[in-house]
Amino acid sequence: MKSPHLIIIGGGFAGIEMLKQLNGLPIKVTLLDKNNYHTFQPLLYQIASGGLGPDAIAYPLRKIVGRIPNIAFRMAEVKSIDTNQNIVTTDIGDFTYDYLCIATGSVTNFFGNKNLQEFAMELKSIPQALDLRSKILQEFEKAVSQTESGQIEQTLNFVVVGGGPTGVETAGAIAEIKNNVLPSDYSEINKNFMKIHLIEASDRILAAMSEISSEKATEFLKNLGVEVHLKTQVKDFTGTELLLGDGSIIKTETVIWAAGVKGEFPQGIESNSIGRGNRILVDEISKIKGLNNVFALGDVAMMTHEEKYPNGHPMVAPVAVQQANLLVKNLQAIINGKETKAFSYFDKGSMATVGRHRAVFESFGIKMQGIIAWLGWMFLHLMLLVGFRNRLVVFVNWLWNYVSYQRAIRIITRPYKGKN
């Protein structure tokens, strides 16, 4: 019998997990992705802050696919999906499928604010992380030549919007640059001119974690010199002035937007199958509602059958991995005419680092803060990286950063010239 053909769109956490589980099964698989590498997104902020190079968190997809006989990879940008004809249209041609899995992840959500979209920095991909790193270093170089206090303060004002893990970790990393890199590399600049602001609309940062962890993370940030603004909304950004909800203005040229994400997927999904946050509505086995052979996983999928998650599961890697693992089993059951199993998310905990010796860690009811949580954060992230070389490169860089108190990569190889 002819093996069914499964197309997976996206080589993120869900896509990679599916490849591992599909190894050797009687299913023909084609993986489509616009990049030829997998990105370990939780460490993107370290690329932006110069702690790691892009090769440390990127892993070639062909290195995974090349040793699996039933799986092929095509570097292609998917343009649209025809769910009636079972066709995926890409920039390199059309592909037909028996089953389709959409695992395209998420992009930054600016909530319709065009100025923020034009001027604010993003942190969802390696190119964006490299842009941010260049932007930070270029601001330092610019500040060296500025003499008027108003000018230099605007140049050295860095604002992070969003108090989730990405925002907290990014703010902490930039604060460490201020405390350790600026005095040594830019001795002409008084480091006190540099300000880091973290803006959060709710009453505490890391809202998904306990109040104890939120309070400790806030304390860590303040000890690093970060100004934390709670219950504060951002209204607009002109490129030089950030307007806040209370009418106040922060003069800055660097705003890092980490205040929201939304699902991203190709054209072809009916509007009645799209829910809040531009996520695709799926049932308990990740099948898109109204379709029999198309599935969605991870950030792009909204599964609401569990009472604990009426607005869908958290947009984090563990959800994507667990959904992918179960979907492979359910696909085998569907092909063989057997009963499928409903997804149930097993939350192993949350963590965030706020710099050297500073982290918060929650798992199975255990709450830790400080150096023990920091060591646990480092160990788990090392183990989650794909590939031994990536783990080794990250470990060596972290060891150097720890011993030298420096960020290893401080060169501008691709100057940032704006989004347009």
pLDDT per position as a tens digit, 300-347: 999 999 889 998 999 999 999 999 999 999 999 999 999 999 999 999
Same domain, 239 and 283: no
Tokens read off for 149: 């206090």
Domain end point (choices 259, 285, 314): 259
pLDDT of residue 206: 96
Q: Which residue has tokens 């085998």?
A: 332
Average pLDDT on 181-197 reads 91
List the CATH number of the domain containing 317.
Answer: 3.50.50.60
Average pLDDT on 280-301 reads 96
* Cα–Cα dist 393/409, whole Å: 13
Tell me the per-residue pLDDT of 109-121, one tens digit each, with 9 for 90 and over: 999 999 999 999 9
Same domain, 223 and 270: no
- Per DSSP bridges, beta strands 261-263 and 106-108 are antiparallel
* Cα–Cα dist 295/65, whole Å: 21
Same domain, 284 and 319: yes
> pLDDT-based confidence at 390, cuts 50/70/90?
confident
Same domain, 130 and 236: yes
- Mean confidence (pLDDT) of the chain: 93
Least confident interval from 179-193, 226-240, 403-417: 403-417
pLDDT of residue 403: 74
- 205 occurs within a structural domain: yes
List the CATH number of the domain containing 209.
Answer: 3.50.50.100
SS (H, E, C) 317-371: HHHHHHHHHHHHHHHHHHHCCCCCCCCCCCCCCEEEECCCCCEEEEECCEEEECH
| Residues with catalytic roles | 169
Selected residue with higher pLDDT from 342 and 400: 342
Same domain, 170 and 88: no
> pLDDT-based confidence at 70, cuts 50/70/90?
very high
Q: Is 98 exposed, middle or buried (0-12, 13-18, 19+ CB in 10 A)?
A: middle
pLDDT of residue 261: 95
Tell me the per-residue pLDDT of 14-53, one tens digit each, with 9 for 90 and over: 999 999 999 989 999 999 999 999 999 999 999 999 989 9
- 153 occurs within a structural domain: yes
The b/e string for 241-250 (b: 16+ C-beta within 10 A; e otherwise) is ebbbeeeeeb
Full residue range of the structural domain in which residue 231 is found: 114-259
Is the per-residue pLDDT at 83 higher than 90? Answer: yes
Same domain, 97 and 127: no
pLDDT of residue 341: 97
Q: Is 203 exposed, middle or buried (0-12, 13-18, 19+ CB in 10 A)?
A: exposed
- 56 occurs within a structural domain: no
pLDDT of residue 309: 92
